[in-house]
Amino acid sequence: MLTVLTALLALLMRCLLVHAFSPEFLACQIQKPVSVSPLHGCPPGTIFVSQNASDPNSDFTSVQAAISSLPTGGKAVILIAAGDYHETVNVTGTGPLTLLGQLPAGSTVNGSTTADPSKRNLVQIWDNKFVQTGMDDADSAVLTVAPSRAGALIGAGPTGAPLQPLFGNVNFKAYNLDFQNRAANFSISQALVTDISYANASFYGCSFASWQDTWYTGRNASTYVVDSVIFGQTDYLFGFGTAWFQNVVLANRACGGGIVAWKGTNLTDAPSNRYGAYIADSKIIRSPDANATTVTTARCFLGRPWNDLATTVFLRTFMDDSIRPEGWTPFNSDRPVIMNTTFYAENRSSGPGGNITNRIPLEHILTDRQAANFTVSLVFLEKPNWIDFAYRF
């Protein structure tokens, strides 16, 4: 049976018949017949998480328990069985860590991006915390990748929490997982999904769902997200580090603030400031589950500056009619002006919301030659070895 299954998986790989996958992990992720170990095709030492406590192959019944079992350093792979996991996940170790969500046995490839806001992965990881009086935003996150709580803290205002002299995970990866903060709705406060700080992290074929402050790339962090969906309403991409979003869908559930709220630091000089949010070859749409009262009337800003060195660049992105024609807005009444040290830019925006005719005068409309200065390698100042460039979609 194992010989037949191995041959089948090899054939699938050669014919590229799997929909959005990493060639390195495909054989591991595909669900197996009950007569075959779910770890067949996985790297040696892979840990298996299943909510079925009676499964003889299960090492742990929760994702966090599996992560907590790991030594501080060393490489680890965790395969997560299909299921609905109500827990928070906290990664403090420095060693490379890969989380894999199971893929359906019948997955097929269609040669195009798989990010679809109306579909779900087999694995859902969620919690329902939201920010209340006395809490730091970080305390609401469903997924935290940071070396310590002090490193995860976000703080308030344009400078945020104090800089920490430490670094955490050097190579965190997640494939085909859905992370959700289910506490959130259009009227509630901040409810984070991710807090990635002092770490390198990348995500493939995932989704992230909340309303306010969904995604946070924190101090000294570098993140890469591809072929994924991010749901939100207010400042739902926010951060202090360097974040690249490739072939993603940004799904507006409603509008508040802007889609992106970013900070730069006083150690950099915009527009050469590498700290920022970069969205490439992507789509901005009104979410299928948008607030019913705003589904046809809401218009969202692309972003607002969290401080005066904010950097946000949209490259070749489709924008539906949920985007306001001026594009950008000041942060609020106590910072009512967008300073010229803020770098907002677009190149080849398309769709009804991509009409740049009435954008604010301060924005940079990039030529193709200028846009060529914004690539993954140039933004991260190297071709990062913590990104899986072999991932197919």
Largest Cα–Cα distance of the chain, in whole Å?
67
Q: Alpha-carbon distance 213 to 154, whole Å?
A: 11
How sure is the predictor about 1, in pLDDT bands with cuts at 50, 70 and 90?
very low
Handedness of CA 223, 279, 258, 189 (dihedral sign): negative
Say what the pLDDT of residue 322 is. Answer: 94
Average pLDDT value over all residues in the chain? 89
Are 327 and 286 within 8 A, CB to CB?
no
Per-residue pLDDT tens digits for 349-359: 999 999 999 99
Question: Would you state the torsion angle of the CA atoms of residues 93, 98, 101, 104, taken in this order, to the nearest 10 degrees?
Answer: -170
Domains and CATH numbers, the chain: 1-112 (no CATH), 126-135+167-387 (2.160.20.10)
pTM above 0.85, yes or no: yes
Burial 58-68 (b: 16+ CB within 10 A, else e): bbbbbbbebbe
Element (H, E) at 47: strand 47-49
Q: For the ranges 8-12, 23-27, 56-60, 182-186, which has the lowest average pLDDT? A: 8-12
Q: Which amino acid is located at 197 in the chain? A: S
Listed range (72-76, 191-195, 270-274, 285-289) with the worst mean pLDDT: 270-274
**What pLDDT, in 10s, does the model give residues 134-185?**
899 999 999 999 999 999 999 988 888 998 989 999 999 999 999 999 986 6
